[in-house]
A and B are shown apart, each in its own frame.
Chain A
């Protein structure tokens, strides 16, 4: 049930990104990446893993790239964040930590995407990238928009967690009454 709710939540987030941000010329934002980071910082490593897998697969389908390119990049970001927070940082999720993590995550995501694309190109599955345009236009726009949209994504995550807690609490209450 929890997995189904997360699948629906990620689907709706992507519909909002495609239906609202793209017509307003803000399509460079990556809300799935922001969601993965925000979920991870709220203490949900397993949930973040699931979100990166489901969200990454949906983005791979929509982008027309070989399946796995964006998913593997998201997973790389998650693993990097996990190792950094295990080794060096506290996992308190204040706004400064959140925004810094999202900024670093955006950079790592871009680098991972280039790296995995090079790997996929060895098997003729990658895409052609104009490196200059990607680094100086797409990447910087993505960074700015990801930071700007962190607050709405945090609120969206709180809504999803609220729905999950209601759905999981209700069967427990019923079993206790029975």
Chain B
């Protein structure tokens, strides 16, 4: 009997037709409320399981690293003191900068307008770097708005908006391209995700000096992201002198696997 006349083929064909209809409905936004409900239920269950997993993970991690904790504590205490001193100097510089700008009639640098949100779900397969937030169009969330973690770490941008939830594509997704700047050398390039594993900094001209450990921030050249959001730290340089442009790997500053409370820049 020919396969196309079998019950199997009929069922499979019917399912493909149903999926095509659902894909059209989804593209037109008719599945928004259904997705909202699913995200909330799934997110609630997932958070409980994740908290339990992280609790067990922390116990084993603590037991494994208990010896080094004393030394790490001492080093961190010293770092806190150094950072407090640096912070105080920066605060003073900021005040001076603000005064000088107003004296020169520059536009005052406005603070970011942040809307706090909570992460409901993340893509469990890792195929796409997408998370879902607990607020949507009803909270004036718009497509393309940047999403950050405190205190200014870039996470991604809003790529879909439903009535009561929104999807964020993380910076580790190849679809998100960020105009970036290396802090120390002011070298400019493009940061693109490497499928959830890391970030690559590309199109940096050969005459720019970049090195491992350099901080990478948003440059605001394209207008998609405000200037100064921390993207990550250069972890490796992967180009030679004969390449047209320099390339580097960048480790994201935020822990993109453990996201919970974020902010949307409005």
Contact = CB atoms under 8 A, between A and B. Distances in A.
Nearest to B160: A64
Contacts, number: 137
B261 interface: no
A172 B123 CA distance: 40
Contact of B130 (A17, A63, A79): A63
Contact of B121 (A18, A65, A129): A18
Contacts of A28: 125-126
Chain B CB within 10 Å, residue with most, of A14, A15, A53: A15
Given A27-B125, A59-B125, A130-B195, A68 B23 contact: yes
A26 B61 CA distance: 17
Contacts of B23: 66-68, 120, 125
Interface string B170-198: 00011100000000000000001111110
B31 interface: yes
B57 A18 contact: no
A14 B195 contact: no
Interface string B139-172: 0000000000000000000011000000101000
A67 B173 contact: no
A130 B129 CA distance: 12
Contacts of B33: none
B122 A18 contact: yes
A149 B67 CA distance: 33
A66 B26 contact: yes
Chain B CB within 10 Å, residue with most, of A49, A59, A64, A138: A64
Contacts of B46: 15, 18-19
Contacts of A67: 19, 22-23, 25-26, 31
Contacts of A79: 12
B205 interface: no
B29 to A, nearest CB: 12
Nearest to B193: A130
A58 B167 CA distance: 15
Interface residues of B, number: 52
A24 interface: yes
Contacts of A85: none
B124 A14 contact: yes
Contact of B195 (A57, A59, A63, A134): A134
Interface in A20-37: 20-25, 27-28, 30
Nearest to A83: B3
A62 B175 contact: no
Interface string A105-147: 0000000010000001001010111100110011000000000
B50 interface: yes
B85 interface: no
Contacts of B173: 128
Contacts of B107: none
Contacts of B132: 62, 64
B90 interface: no
A27 B15 contact: no
Contacts of B11: 49
A24 B50 contact: no
B130 A137 contact: no
23 contacts: A11-B45, A14-B42, A18-B121, A22-B124, A22-B126, A23-B50, A23-B54, A23-B257, A27-B125, A28-B125, A53-B15, A59-B125, A62-B122, A62-B123, A63-B130, A64-B130, A64-B132, A65-B127, A68-B23, A82-B8, A127-B128, A128-B173, A129-B174
Interface of B: 8, 11-12, 15-16, 19-20, 22-23, 25-27, 31, 35, 38-39, 42, 45-50, 52-54, 57, 121-128, 130, 132, 159-160, 167, 169, 173-175, 192-197, 257-258
Interface of A: 11, 14-25, 27-28, 30, 45, 49, 53, 57-59, 61-68, 70-72, 75, 79, 82, 113, 120, 123, 125, 127-130, 133-134, 137-138
